[in-house]
Chain A
Amino acid sequence: MAHAPSSRRLWFVAHSWLGLPIWGFLFFVCLTGSIATISQEIMWLVDPATRANPPSADARPLGYDEVMARIAEQRPGARLHEMTQPVKPEFALIVEAATPDGETRTFFVNPYDGTIQGEQGWFDFRAFIRALHGWLLTPFDGGYAIGWYAVSALSIPLMGSLVTGIVVHKKFWRLYLRPRLRLSKGRRVFWGDLHRLVAVWSIPFIAIMSTTALWFLIEAILYANAVTVAPVRPPLVIAREAAPNVARSEAPPEPSIDAAIAAIRAKHPDFAPGYIEAPESAYGHVTVYGRGAYPLIFEEAKVNPYSNEVAQSRMVSDRTALELVTESMRPLHVGDFAGLWLKLVYFLFGVLLTGLVFSGMMIWAKRTAGATRALVRDIRVAGPFPEPAE
């Protein structure tokens, strides 16, 4: 390989071309991620059924059991799978229920009068954009999807670009004190200044994104090796003897969501339900996820639907320091824990990062294309086209 003077250059150019999909890939992931941040809000704007308009100024939200009763009136036989209570009061309840035809349907339900305002069609924009961003739509079969690994592995080049960028511009912090954007020194200077300015202001955001994404990679690897951050108790089921016997002429017992939440609130007064899962079987619990005093962490409680006692709970105080850190990763990544303003901040920085990646891609592309042209020209000048390197 040492015979041709240009072989090292040839390899360098080939290597650069190999790097090509990374930039396109990172760009794609940043773009879809930015959209995913505000996917719920986009749906709110596009589909009026997802909004929660009070029928009158003094209207109060119904209890969950009453909501379910109203749904049963509109869709006889519907059985609750899960219900999402959006953090923001402007959003309708999202109720996933099984209907007697065997299908699982998602209803947007007005929390004030229980009206089914709309139904999720076959295309769920929010789930789709998240799946597109998070795992490129690849399947989960007996483990994390292959796309999950591919996307989260981007945290490594992203973190690398952050670190190398800081090393190259050691005095970056000066830009916070004296922002410099020269308008009169030509286009190259202007774009260079703008690029550095945006990059410097994005440092905390890029650090958050790359760290949390790196955790997603580690999380998947740990799962694949059946390693948990802390010992996880076995899945909780109700003992066969504890389920009531009911005579054939009587209706089977129906769980009460309101009673379950009341039982949790009796123990944890500041618990705010955000997501409710109906028992999956006669031996399952009503599971309620919600946020307490520390907004980053989802707390969880399982309530026995027959006795309405809290059978198991995982509150912030039950977690180890390590679990607090690892479980904060997801909300930090998606920014859904403080309201609309934070989502918009995340979206803005997401778009800026997408732009940074795009400009980085352009700079790189020009350079590599130039190097390739120069290489080919030099080879032509030197003589006949050599055999391509292996």
Chain B
Amino acid sequence: MIALPGGRRRWRFHVCALMLLVPIGFAPGYFQRLDLEGGAVGLGEREIGVLRLGRWKARLAELDLGPPVIEGAAGPIKTFTLALEGAAIDEVRAAYAKIGEPRSIRSAGALFAGAPYRQMAGVAAPETATGDSELWLTFEGWDGSIEQTSLPLADASPSTVAWLAGRRRR
């Protein structure tokens, strides 16, 4: 079917309006993403809870509720955010996260990057991980001391567990 132009002016307007629809459709997501990355909406879309590692305290969140993002050959990556609290702000030199228990400090996993108030790490999600797999957090102090804790992946990121299970079924 050929749509007949109703009038020269009107359809010209429609052409321009049509093109404007594309970015308008993406605009809410764009601003949402900026708020998420800038911390305007809090630590992340889903707060996981408060972690205690020895004398240190921190809050952990999923940056977004979505499933992991595939980063080329590195495979699926899930981003977590961390806020060091109290004494940990000045005492913790580095924080790491890994799915599965690290065998040494050298393989503690992804390094949280950013200011102590809000730092992010993209954690590799192994294809074999399930809800029973553990997310291990390793904190390393400026004095060289090391503290660790872990929580089930089902608590840390239900969306990652569901997504990995869906991939295995296929």
Contact = CB atoms under 8 A, between A and B. Distances in A.
Interface in A1-50: 10, 13-14, 17, 20-21, 23-25, 27-28
A137 B27 contact: yes
Given A27-B16, A79-B117, A243-B93, A103 B142 contact: no
A388 B1 CA distance: 6
Contacts of B83: 102
Contact of B26 (A81, A101, A138, A283): A138
Nearest to A284: B113
Nearest to A26: B19
Interface centre among B1, B42, B116 (most CB of A within 10 A): B116
Nearest to B37: A104
A139 interface: yes
Interface in A345-375: 361-362, 365-366, 369, 372-373, 375
A28 B111 contact: no
A98 B2 contact: no
A226 B143 contact: no
Interface in B71-110: 71-73, 77, 83, 90-91, 93-94, 105-106
A132 B22 CA distance: 10
Nearest to B24: A137
Nearest to B55: A248
A102 B42 contact: yes
A139 B40 contact: no
Contacts of B18: 21, 24
B49 interface: no
Interface in A124-147: 124, 127, 131-132, 136-139, 141-142, 147
Interface stretch (B4-12, B125-133, B150-158, B162-170): B4-12
A104 B43 CA distance: 11
Contacts of A252: 90, 93, 142
Interface residues of A, number: 59
A376 B16 contact: no
Contact of B141 (A248, A284, A369): A248
A282 B93 contact: yes
Interface string A66-110: 000000000001010100000000000000011111111100000
B50 interface: no
Nearest to B143: A248
B90 A283 contact: no
Given A240-B106, A246-B143, A369 B8 contact: yes
Contacts of A24: 15-16, 18-19
Contact of B38 (A103, A240, A388): A103
B115 A240 contact: no
B115 A281 contact: no
Contact of B117 (A99, A251, A362): A99
26 contacts: A10-B2, A25-B19, A28-B16, A28-B20, A79-B117, A98-B117, A101-B117, A102-B39, A104-B37, A132-B23, A142-B69, A142-B71, A243-B93, A245-B144, A246-B143, A247-B143, A248-B91, A248-B141, A248-B143, A280-B114, A282-B94, A283-B94, A284-B113, A369-B5, A372-B5, A388-B2
Given A245-B144, A369-B5, 20 more contacts: A17-B2, A21-B15, A21-B19, A24-B15, A28-B19, A98-B39, A103-B38, A103-B40, A104-B39, A124-B34, A139-B26, A142-B70, A142-B72, A226-B73, A251-B90, A280-B113, A281-B113, A281-B119, A369-B8, A372-B4
- 4 closest Cβ contacts across the A-B interface? A98-B115, A137-B30, A280-B113, A79-B115
